[in-house]
Amino acid sequence: MQTVPWPFIAKEMLEAGALTFRELRRFHCAVYPGVWVPRGVDISAIDRARAAWLWSHRSGVLAGLSASALLGAKWIGPEVPAELIHSNRRAPRMLTVHSDTLTPRETQSIAGMTVTSPARTAFDLGRRLVLANGLQRVDALMNATDLKAVEVEAVMADHPGARGLAGLRRTLDLADGGAESPYETMTRLLLLENGFPRPQTQIPVYDERGILFARIDMGWPEYRVGVDFEGAHHWTDPRQRSKDVERYARLPELDWVDVRVTSSMLHNSPRVFLDRVGRALTARGCPRTW
């Protein structure tokens, strides 16, 4: 049996003689009707997007999180349904089909597939998803593509009657492509929703010689108060842990207060985190707004 690139349309492979029907059934399984992959493979969000596009007979436009994955955004797992703009609304399981209208400037080609542009993708994500989830997705897309809010606003002007524009405006107002993980977005949103001044993201910190020493996830450089999210790699990677020890020892020497936060704290004790940030800002002379 020859190696067949996947995902693939089974009918095409059978007609081309690349597979026999027995080989198809024994060594492969269907992702969507007519679209197959080898048994046991790990399917990524991009693989699922291509499978969805093949299911549409190569006529659909990949949108939403499928487009976002193809555009380079992170944190999109294989368990997320693919998304298409297509005329066939009878979508199989793990595939969401939309019947939206697109302008010519709202699509592009990636790996031979038609995909919504970064601006159109953010337009769809921000108006369809609830604030917290939509903000995480738009932040990730902006981080991957350098997309600006003004580009999304241009798409909004082309679709003034679209549903969800109020939510999209709120998302764009809060979006920041500096966020490098969903938890960084969650942290920033928690601060903003509790009245804190808007933090700057990815703040460079220089040592006494003017050499870049570190980047703080977010904070207020005018008060030298920062916030860093500690993911699992900070604890499981010995080299990262060693760097962190040096980093956190040096930041106070450079007159920075750095408040660290974990996923457990965000979920279980957000008030403790907010109080720490509030005390640090107050001590540095920030007018209280929270």
> Half-sphere exposure of 204 toward its Cβ, with a 13 Å CA cutoff?
5
Predicted local confidence at residue 237, as pLDDT: 57
Answer left, alpha or beta for residue 178, where phi above 0 means left and psi between -120 and 50 means alpha: alpha
Predicted local confidence at residue 247, as pLDDT: 82
Nearest to 255 by CA among 287, 208, 288, 209: 208
CB 126 within 8 A of CB 168: yes
Alpha-carbon distance of 217 to 176, in angstroms, equals 12
Q: How many residues does the chain have?
A: 290
Which residues fall within 8 angstroms of residue 116, CB to CB, at 6 or more apart? 61, 62, 63, 64, 67, 85, 102, 106, 107, 108, 124
Predicted local confidence at residue 236, as pLDDT: 47
Query: pTM, whole model, 2 decimals?
Result: 0.93
Predicted local confidence at residue 235, as pLDDT: 43
3-state helix, strand, coil in the chain (%, to 5): 45, 20, 35
Alpha-carbon distance of 284 to 279, in angstroms, equals 9
CA 190 to chain centre: 18
Per the listing, tokens 């996830």 go with 217
* Mean pLDDT, each 10-residue run in order, the chain (290 residues): 88 97 97 97 97 98 98 96 94 96 97 98 98 98 98 98 97 97 98 98 94 95 97 55 77 95 96 98 96
Alpha-carbon distance of 187 to 185, in angstroms, equals 5
Distances (CA, A) of 271 to 95, 182, 187, 192, 276: 39, 19, 12, 13, 9
Q: Which residue(s) pair with 204 in the sheet?
A: 215
Predicted local confidence at residue 2, as pLDDT: 67
Predicted local confidence at residue 89, as pLDDT: 84
3-state secondary structure of 65: helix
